[in-house]
Every structure is written in structure tokens, then in C-alpha cells.
Structure 1
Amino acid sequence: MASADTTKPASGRPYHHGDLRRAILTAALDVIAADGPSALSLRDLARRAGVSHAAPAHHFKDRTGLLTAIAAEGFGLLAATLRDASDLKDAGVRYVRFARKRPAHFQVMFAPELLRADDLELTTARALATDSLRGAGSGVRPEDFGVDARLAGVAAWSFAHGFATLLLSHNLEGAVGDKDPEEVFRTLAATLFRST
């Protein structure tokens, strides 16, 4: 069980918070999902968590640190989501599912201007996600795509990422309608990529 955070607020009395880091991350994800990363404020997150305005800095240093932690967590979750994908199509469906389930993570993960690019936790998690995606494409035959397997993986990732991004930004509502987006993606992928 996580130990209680006993950082002292401005009043000088310690507060007890079971897991302040997680509480701040959760509140930040709620803000990002509702209003985007630009709406994020450490002071507002501290107010939401009922702690001093300086408390979030104890865990994240600053806004960039918080966004970097969100991205690192997102890439770790994405790696776990992709780990057992049977092929590139399955990886694409899982990628779209991840984006739909975790839109705030997804927004931040692919906004490098908001992040500390050299953060070890971020670079490690990103490498794990990349390895999971490459693993899904390991059975790709160059003749299936007319390019090498690595470029086929880039094409599949671009397709899944583009579809997920358009879906989250509500640009596919007319085309997808009330259909399951994952099934729509699966159908589109089947028409674009032959089975491997």
C-alpha cells in the first residue's frame, strides 16, 4: 500500500493524502480530456486535490514534468495494450481502442513540444511501445507491401494513428455513424492490407 504523503500546506499543518501523485495525475487527465492540455494548471490541480498550491511541484516539478509523466504512463499503457497483438491489423485495432479509452493520454503522448524529450521514464516507455508495435509487425513479408517490414510497420502505425486522431477530433462522425469504430477500422485495414 502506498505511504501517505505528508507534505505541509501553506498553513504549516501536514495533510495526509493516500497517493497525491496519482490524484494529481487523475485530475490532470480529467482536465485534458475535457479541455485539452492547454487548460492544465498545477495550481488548479492542487485546489482540486485539496492540497497547497506547491504540493504538485513536489512530485512533478512543473507543468512540463506533469505532462511528461502523463505521456510516459500513456506509452507504458500502450505498450501493454499492443504486447500480444497477433499482427499489424490487430495492433491497429488495439491502438484505436487505446486512443478511445485514454484520449487524454493520447493527446499528450504525441505532443513533443509539451514534454521533456530526454526524460528517462518517457524514453523507456516510448521504446517499449515501439518494440510492441514492431513485434506485431514481425510476421510481415516485404512482398505483401512492396516495402520492407519496418516501412510496412510505419504505414500501419500511420493508418491507425490517423484514424484514431480523426476519430477523437470528431471528424469521422459522418463516416462512422453509429458503427463500432474498431470494426470500421478492421474493415478498412482489411481492404488496405492483405493478411500476413
Structure 2
Amino acid sequence: MPYHHGDLRRALLDTALEAIGEQGPAAVSLRDVARRAGVSHAAPTHHFRDKTGLLTALAAEGWSLLADSLEEAVRREDDFAELGVAYVVFATSHPAHFAVMRAPGLARADDPDLDAAMGRAREQLRSGVQRFEAGSTRDTDTTALTAWSLVHGLAALILEGAIPLKPDTDVTELARAVTARLRPPS
């Protein structure tokens, strides 16, 4: 997708997401992203110092998008399990972002934008757990970790192809069936 005019930074991010979808985050290079975007190999350095800067921006964007999804789920539903559904749907709808978000060492962990976006996502999860656990004697941090582990594992298994999905499989309904296990038995 050759870049013509407008927002070069956005064009580079979108091009990088496409490349990550094809070859994974570790294999992406600024030179390849520039070539795919139809700009000089030096153009990306005006927006991202290096590959790590590009991947950090994508990770921050991914965490922000995830936080938005979780916030919407909290606002829309009074059911804690829907946070988990939102997580799985986000991951399977944004696989390139999700790949960068879970690739250790590829992004700058000390980046303030990344830290803020991750904090926002964690806060949405924490707020959902607190509503779910209101009046309970269970530790909310452990409940949050349990829920995150479950839905992260489900999302990763789907994206890795370890769960053979039929073409008509509704990921939302599959995630609802799995996250229903988070509710105490009636």
C-alpha cells in the first residue's frame, strides 16, 4: 500500500501491522515497512527512532484499544465474564497488535505511553473484578489473575490454531462458554 499523502505515521503503523500479520513482530524491519509503504528507507526514522520504537507504538496502541474494549464491556454489561469475552474478541480481531503486546523484549517497557495504556487496561480489569467480587472474601488480585490467565490462554490457543475452529464458529460465543466457568455455580 504505497503512501501518497496525509498521515505518514499512521500509514507506517498500518503497514507494520500488515507485515506483522504475515511474518510476526520479530521479523519486521523498518526498511521493509518503508518499502511496503512506498517511502524512502529513512522515512520511518522521522516518526520512530528504530524498530523498537515502532513496535512500542504498536504495543501502546494495542493496549489502548484493549482498554477501550474492556471499558465498553464494563459499561455495557453487569457480567464480569463479558470482560473476558471482550479480551478474546479483541485479541482475535487485532492479532498483529496482540502479537506485539505479548512479545517480551520487543517494546520499550519504560515507554510512558505504553505504561499508561497498559495501566488503563489493568484498571478496567481490576474495576470489573471489584464489581464481581463485591461482598466476597476472595482476593480480587488473584481473581483478576485467574480471569486474565484463562482468557489470554484461550485467545492465544485460537490465534495459534491449537483450537480447530470451524468456519462458522462464533468466537464471541466460544469465549462466553469458556468465561462462564468464571461464575460461581448456582
Q: TM-score, normalised by structure 1?
A: 0.84
Are residue 52 (structure 1) and residue 40 (structure 2) matched? yes
Aligned to 2:106: 114
CA distance in 1, matches of 2:5, 2:104: 31
CA distance in 2, matches of 1:88, 1:105: 24
Match of 2:118, SS?
helix
Are residue 193 (structure 1) and residue 144 (structure 2) matched? no
Amino acid in structure 2 at the alignment position of 1:171: A
Aligned to 2:90: 98
Aligned to 2:70: 82
**Farther off after superposition, 153-162 or 131-140:** 131-140
Q: Deviations over 1:151-177 (max 9, x none)?
A: 11110111000000000000001xx43
Unpaired runs of at least 5, structure 1: 1-14
| Aligned partner of 2:16 among 28, 32, 48 | 28
Quick check: 1:142–1:148 contact (8 Å CA) kept in 2? no
CA distance in 1, matches of 2:101, 2:185: 29
Q: Report the Cα offset of residue 189 of structure 1.
A: 2.0
Q: Percent identity?
A: 50
Amino acid in structure 2 at the alignment position of 1:34: E
Match of 1:171, SS?
coil
Quick check: 1:88–1:156 contact (8 Å CA) kept in 2? no
Q: Deviations over 1:85-125 (max 9, x none)?
A: 23320000000110111000001011131011100110011
Q: Report the Cα offset of residue 20 of structure 1.
A: 0.6
CA distance in 1, matches of 2:183, 2:86: 16
Amino acid in structure 2 at the alignment position of 1:17: H
Unpaired runs of at least 5, structure 2: none
Which gives a bigger RCO, structure 1 or 2 (Cα 8 Å, sep 6+)?
2
Aligned to 1:127: 119
**Farther off after superposition, 89-98 or 180-189:** 180-189
Quick check: 2:59–2:101 contact (8 Å CA) kept in 1? yes
Structure index of larger Rg: 1
**Farther off after superposition, 135-144 or 84-93:** 135-144
Are residue 40 (structure 1) and residue 21 (structure 2) matched? no
Aligned to 1:149: 140
Match of 2:138, SS?
coil
Number of residue equivalences: 179
Alignment RMSD (CA, Å):
2.1
Q: Report the Cα offset of residue 41 of structure 1.
A: 1.1
Amino acid in structure 2 at the alignment position of 1:126: M
